[in-house]
Amino acid sequence: MGLFSLLLITSLVTSHSLKPPTSNSPSPKLVVGITIDQMRADFLTRFEDHFTDGGFKRIMNGGFTCYDHHYGYAPTFTGPGHASIYTGTTPSVHGIIANDWFVRDKNTTVYCSSDSRARGIGNDGIDGLDGRPLVFDKAGQMSPTHLLSNTIGDEMKLATMGENTPKVIGISIKDRGAILPAGHSADGAYWFYGQNHGHFISSTHYFRMLPQWVIDFNNEGRAEQLCNDGWDRLLKESAYSKCSPDNNPFEGSFRGEIRPTFPYDLNALKAANGGYDVLKATPGGNTILVDFALAAIEGEELGRDGACDLLTMSFSATDYVGHRCGPHAQETMDMYVRLDRELERFFDELDDIVGDGNWTVFITSDHGAAAVPSQAQSLDMPSDYWTPGNLQDRLEVELDIKFGPKDWVQNISNNNIYLNKKSVRSSSTFEDVIQRYVSALCVEEEGILMACGAYDLASRAKVDPILKNMYNGYLQGANGDVVFVLNPGWMNYGRTGTTHGSPFAYDTHVPCIFYGAGIEVGSTYERTYIRDIAPTISTLLEVPYPNGCTGAPIHQALKK
């Protein structure tokens, strides 16, 4: 038995034996929701030997860990993930069905946190207004307008209308990682704009001018300092023995770089990699987020007055490194070992500013990731790359032969096939029959494991756990007529690095840890779902569940 398990049992026993039958659980002054983009569940234990006592291990040992925590739906992408954590439901209800998805009526693609009515706001004011140049453009035209449900923070606002309104702030390197968690009524959401700025920006959805603490933070030049720091391994190379060798063919490089190897000279890479955007894929992207979080806590006085405030943080650098290098790279391990130190710094600061015992945190991830297929292939595993190729042409030809010549397929994206509604409805054949025929054609393609039409999804989801995930990710009226699933370990991606999005465990299994005021010490191996996090926090705060919530509180995590 390891020290960790011993500690866990000891603390479990003590907390149970000392607990009075009815106790007034302390309620937090500040809840911090932390999402670590693309963090797989196994990373918690895989890198544990190299974590400090004050970061991940502090909250695992002193809080409640759900070891079998899953998304319970596909598509396992960033936008849907962040929306699900804070709405307590799945894309079938909250409507964020991908990062970008096809909209039939407009025959175009929409981005999950885009809003053409909003304008970006930077240090100089509203982007492109009063003769100012349009700098942020689409990167600033953001809001949660596509999110159909409300969030933890929205319900906190509703529950305490009038005096003592809680503050709700969302921050991330990625716009969608800041905006969707913060919800509709947030006081502010801030995301990183690199290029030659290296600033956090926001949009007119929230206000007409950045708060002074944001302007001050941007003026500090933190992005420049972090670029000067560069990126080398934190530990000696032998500590990375669970990882692939530093130089290997399964990792991608930064632009303008020959090998994907340490050390990284970020100033040299800046010009070819979007200026300060280079930080997004390095530990500096996490450091600047912690710095900004602390500035937000000070600037907004979070956790100071009577009402409990909410800060949502999403670390994105972990996702960028995964996409470039995959889960088994030294770069990825180094990213987590360094993030652990950043979390320790953050928790220590929370103790100082808000007070130990006055704050509650949860850590989870928005999705996992597959092993790099080319790397899995090198170990004789059946992973591979899939491309739509001539699937659309083939469907058109086959449907013409079967049901008569028409323009049948409108779009194929996110493993959804959107048939042309006009063609389908003017056909003498029923829609469900056409869907079944398209599904049958799909599974003839190499790499497609299963396909299912919208008419059959609910019934097949009852008996098939993979299709159940697809069903939970399916929004009626927005998704395609037929959805398909690639073989396990297959993806539509380049040959280096990895991606996610599937209904399989490598994409759905993520960490979930609660810690702090009102949280029990312990762990569970029972299956829990991402949609359960929001009602757990709602119960802790004694506010209603978000209005689309379909999850249930993880009651074992809550002090009774």
- Binding residues for Zn ion, rule: CB under 5 A, are 37, 78, 319, 366
Q: Which is nearer to Zn ion, 291 or 366 (CB)?
A: 366
Candidate list 78, 89, 360, 528, residue with the active-site label:
78
Nearest to 321 by CA among 231, 238, 385, 382: 231
Residue whose CB is nearest to Zn ion in the complex, by number: 78
Residues 552 and 545 sit within 8 Å (Cβ to Cβ): no
Smallest gap from Cβ 491 to Zn ion, in A, equals 15
For the beta carbon of residue 297, count every other beta carbon within 10 angstroms.
24
For the beta carbon of residue 248, count every other beta carbon within 10 angstroms.
21
Smallest gap from Cβ 521 to Zn ion, in A, equals 29
The tokens for 233 are: 């391994």
Q: Which is nearer to Zn ion, 98 or 409 (CB)?
A: 98
Smallest gap from Cβ 531 to Zn ion, in A, equals 17
How far apart are alpha carbons 201 and 125 in whole angstroms?
A: 10
Q: Which is nearer to Zn ion, 71 or 437 (CB)?
A: 71
Q: Which is nearer to Zn ion, 155 or 319 (CB)?
A: 319
The tokens for 461 are: 């989801």
Smallest gap from Cβ 366 to Zn ion, in A, equals 4
Smallest gap from Cβ 38 to Zn ion, in A, equals 5
Give me the residue label for tokens 């309104």. Answer: 165
DSSP code string of 282-348:
STHHHHHHHHHHHHHHHHTTTT-SSSPEEEEEEE-HHHHHHHHH-TTSHHHHHHHHHHHHHHHHHHH
How far apart are alpha carbons 554 and 19 in whole angstroms?
A: 19
Q: What is the largest CA-CA distance in the chain?
A: 75
Map residue 126 onto helix, strand or coil: strand
Name beta bridge partners: 191.
Answer: 172, 201
Q: Which is nearer to Zn ion, 437 or 493 (CB)?
A: 493
Residues 435 and 417 sit within 8 Å (Cβ to Cβ): no
Give me the residue label for tokens 């079967």. Answer: 402
Q: How far is CA 6 from CA 14, 68, 223, in A?
A: 12, 20, 42
Rg (CA), the chain: 24
Smallest gap from Cβ 508 to Zn ion, in A, equals 13
Q: Which is nearer to Zn ion, 115 or 319 (CB)?
A: 319
How far apart are alpha carbons 417 and 438 in whole angstroms?
A: 9
How far apart are alpha carbons 394 and 408 in whole angstroms?
A: 11
Smallest gap from Cβ 367 to Zn ion, in A, equals 5
78 an active-site residue? yes
Q: Which is nearer to Zn ion, 254 or 315 (CB)?
A: 315
Residues with a known catalytic role: 78
